Amino acid sequence: MNKAPWINVINRLAYFIPIYLPEGDGTKIVDVAGNYYHDFRNIRSIRSIKKFICRHFMVDYQALRQHFQKRGGSGFAPLALAPGYTMVAIKTRAARCSGDPCYGFINVNIIETIEKQEKDGARSRLILRNGCQLPCISTIKTIQNALLMARDLEMKGTCRATDATLAELLLRFLKLYEQEKNGL
């Protein structure tokens, strides 16, 4: 099986969005350095890439989505992949037909600013730290709300991970202390 070249930069993705290619529906994948790749395995490429990324980072997207909805979120849940590496869903294109994927996932930490744009159906534009500009169908307010929810979800996940790490360290310390106390 041929390995897609973007898999080598999976830990440094800036965004992945659905696009229309001459070959059909596909996904544009851009890393933080600004290099881009196209993936057009099937018409639902964006969904298969999202699943692959979740599997790579051992993230249960269904559980993440349920947690997101319990916290009041609606729509696509952000991909909280690792501490400091969260991707938020933003509408980046209009559907040509029913069932077309319209939402892409953008790395929260690479977004520099959000600007208003009224051009070619786009309502806003993301300016990224790597120099890329990404037109979006979502409004500025919708993007800001999505970013707030993503950062909140990321912080809650990071705190839980930190608490779990501290608890694990405390248990290890207690075991070492007991071993030392017993003369082992």
The answer on pLDDT for 94 being more than 70 is yes
Res 162: pLDDT: 56
* pLDDT tens, position by position, 55-85: 888 888 888 888 888 888 888 889 988 888 8
* Contacts for 127 with CB less than 8 Å, ≥ 6 apart: 111, 112, 113, 114, 115, 133
Res 65: pLDDT: 87
Res 43: pLDDT: 47
Instruction: Say how far apart CA 91 and CA 88 lie, in whole Å.
Output: 10
Show the CA angle centred on residue 115, arms to residues 111 and 119, nearest 5°: 120
Tell me the angle at which helices 61-70 and 140-181 cross, rounded to the nearest 10 degrees: 110
Encoded tokens for 12: 């440094």
Res 159: pLDDT: 46
The pTM assigned to this predicted structure is 0.78
Buried b (16+ CB within 10 A) or exposed e, 84-110: ebbbbbbbbbeeeeeeebbbbbbbbeb
Return the percentage of the chain with pLDDT > 70, whole number. Answer: 88
Q: Which residue has the higher pLDDT, 176 or 28?
A: 28
Q: What single DSSP character describes residue 137?
A: S
Res 92: pLDDT: 92
Q: Which residue has the higher pLDDT, 41 or 107?
A: 107
Say what the alpha-carbon torsion angle 34, 30, 19, 55 is, to the nearest 10 degrees.
180
Q: Let me know: does 180 contact 172? Beta carbons within 8 Å.
A: no
Res 3: pLDDT: 64
Instruction: Say how far apart CA 170 and CA 83 lie, in whole Å.
Output: 21
Mean pLDDT of the 141-149 span: 92
The answer on pLDDT for 41 being more than 90 is no
Instruction: Say how far apart CA 110 and CA 60 lie, in whole Å.
Output: 24
The answer on pLDDT for 122 being more than 90 is no
Res 142: pLDDT: 92
